[in-house]
Structure 1
Amino acid sequence: MARSEAMFEDENYPAYTMGRAAEIVGATQDFLRRLDEEKLFTPFRSAGGHRRYSRYQLRLAVRAREMVDAGTALEAACRIIILEDQLEEALEENRRLQQDRSADPA
């Protein structure tokens, strides 16, 4: 796979500028800055210091925007999303360990 194709496949590749990210998320640039302040994610920085966002970060931002639009405080929304993400990672690790355990002929 060519390098450029790999970048399109990588959900963590920082492909979107702040303006484009805000447009995709349906939020303001200030909203994206506040997500960074709340530690939901840290945008990548270009060589010139401009924020760049990945598809994964945009999905988190959309989730936060939806929660805020439904009346959840931004700080609470970010914390909930962080905890959901941590839970999903723990469940995935548990699944891997269970598979390893069943595959191990002890």
Structure 2
Amino acid sequence: MSSGIARPRGQASKNLLAALKRAGVEIKATAFDFISLPEGQAISFDSEENLFRCLPQVIFIDVKTATQKRVKPGFSGFFFAFTENEISAANQLGNRYKIALFNKIRRNY
């Protein structure tokens, strides 16, 4: 099991992006909505060094939200698009970049 954290803002976001850049990954903050860490893993956004050490365990998650009644269980009828920033993040992060689908009407993933 893992724990999710909403995309950091302000200086915390700058520190995370700087740690990613140091690791050779240059993405935009808007390319993800949440990060996920292994259960029990803590992370401090106050230190770029700490973030750099934790990066191998961090999963970046982009959430695509369905708000139309026509979207059925299993997301049949759901259309979504990827931005260039999201495609770039997926290419650079590989299996550490995930897409989550959320149906706001049915309140399920």
Give the structure-1-normalised TM-score. Answer: 0.27
Q: Give the number of the structure whose residues are more often strand, by fraction.
A: 2
Could you say which structure has the larger radius of gyration?
1
